[in-house]
Structures are given as structure tokens and as C-alpha cells.
């Protein structure tokens, strides 16, 4: 969509995915 703020929603979603992945990798490293 062309609405302002869609980019922020997308970025926040990506950040959550990255945090989950990094969290899993950190737990696996331990």
C-alpha cells in the first residue's frame, strides 16, 4: 500500500524475526 507507516510495520516485523532467530542461535550456542 502507499500509506505512510507501512515501512515501519514491515521493518518491525523483520526485526522481530531477526530477534527470534538470533535468540534461537544464542540458546543453541550455549
Q: Could you read off the pLDDT of 8-25 as tens digits, one per residue? A: 888 888 888 888 888 877
Q: pLDDT-based confidence at 30, cuts 50/70/90?
A: low
pLDDT at 29: 63
The set of cell numbers assigned to 18 is: 531477526
pLDDT computed for residue 25 by the predictor: 72
| 1 compared with 25, residue with greater pLDDT | 25
Domain count, the chain: 1
Q: What are phi and psi of 3, to 5 degrees?
A: -80, 145
Domain range for residue 24?
1-30
Amino acid at each position: 500500500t502507499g500509506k505512510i507507516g507501512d515501512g515501519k510495520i514491515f521493518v518491525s516485523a523483520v526485526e522481530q524475526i531477526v530477534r527470534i532467530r538470533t535468540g534461537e542461535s544464542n540458546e543453541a550456542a550455549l
